[in-house]
């Protein structure tokens, strides 16, 4: 019989048993036990990781339409479906029904004028949920003090509590004051929420809007 060449290749499946046989005593057996234990745990760890990842995305997985499933009624009485703005960032701001904060309205107008050409939509949602007692006899219609505002506005709705408009119940933002600003990203899901203390032209809000603009905007 011709002897094998000194550097003959040994298939991997043939080599493994020889390695195991070359191990001596308990040390080799211990190594096999450790490998077997780790191998048994790996599928469990992978399953746990998958469960955590799935749990982290319940709203998006179960609510693919996001904000686009909701609609308001415009101040003119026309329907205002948010789906009409799909793919664009939408800043939804609950305003008082009286223009007692012209700085907020003027800031929203300036923000709207600055980014509307790049895709931003600003929607003012008047609500009297937080109306002060001294406003009760003001007798002014929404934004009558500033006719230069031209961003979209809705009819008056509730924005807080169990009777809140469906959009606010969906958004999950705890609205406790007028001029809470909810930024919906171009994917139709809430991107950021800003309190009334954050002015419309605050750098943090402006940067959030800029980051949400569609490519090429």
Closest by alpha carbon to 193, among 208, 212, 213, 178?
208
Of 23, 28, 50, 99, the active-site residue reads 99
Q: Are strands 79-81 and 71-73 parallel, antiparallel or unpaired?
A: antiparallel
SS3 162: coil
Q: Residues 67, 167: contact at Cβ < 8 Å?
A: yes
Active site residue 99: yes
Whole-angstrom distance, CA of residue 98 vs CA of residue 136: 10
- Angle, vertex CA 123, rays to CA 216 and CA 136, nearest 5: 160
CA separation (Å) from 146 to 77, 99, 103, 140? 20, 8, 11, 11
Q: Residues 92, 182: contact at Cβ < 8 Å?
A: yes
Q: Residues 23, 31: contact at Cβ < 8 Å?
A: yes
CA separation (Å) from 216 to 87, 91, 112? 12, 19, 17
Q: Residues 102, 192: contact at Cβ < 8 Å?
A: no
Q: Which residue numbers are catalytic?
A: 99
């Amino acid at each position: 019989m011709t002897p094998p060449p000194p550097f003959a290749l040994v298939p991997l499946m043939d080599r493994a048993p020889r390695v195991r046989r070359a191990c001596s005593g308990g040390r080799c057996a211990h190594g096999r036990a450790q490998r077997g234990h780790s191998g048994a745990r790996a599928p469990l760890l992978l399953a746990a990781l998958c469960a955590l990842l799935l749990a982290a995305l319940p709203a998006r997985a179960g609510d693919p339409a996001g904000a686009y499933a909701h609609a308001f009624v415009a101040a003119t009485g026309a329907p205002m479906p948010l789906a009409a703005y799909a793919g664009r960032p939408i800043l939804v701001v609950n305003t008082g029904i009286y223009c007692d904060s012209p700085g907020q309205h003027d800031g929203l107008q300036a923000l709207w004028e600055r980014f509307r050409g790049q895709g931003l939509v600003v929607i003012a949602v008047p609500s009297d949920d937080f109306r002060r007692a001294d406003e009760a006899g003001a007798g002014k219609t929404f934004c009558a003090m500033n006719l230069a505002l031209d961003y979209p506005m809705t009819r008056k709705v509730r924005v807080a509590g169990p009777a809140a408009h469906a959009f606010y119940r969906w958004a999950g933002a705890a609205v406790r004051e007028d001029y809470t600003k909810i930024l919906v990203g171009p994917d139709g899901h809430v991107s950021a929420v800003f309190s009334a203390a954050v002015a419309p032209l605050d750098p943090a809000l402006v940067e959030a809007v800029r980051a949400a603009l569609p490519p090429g905007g």
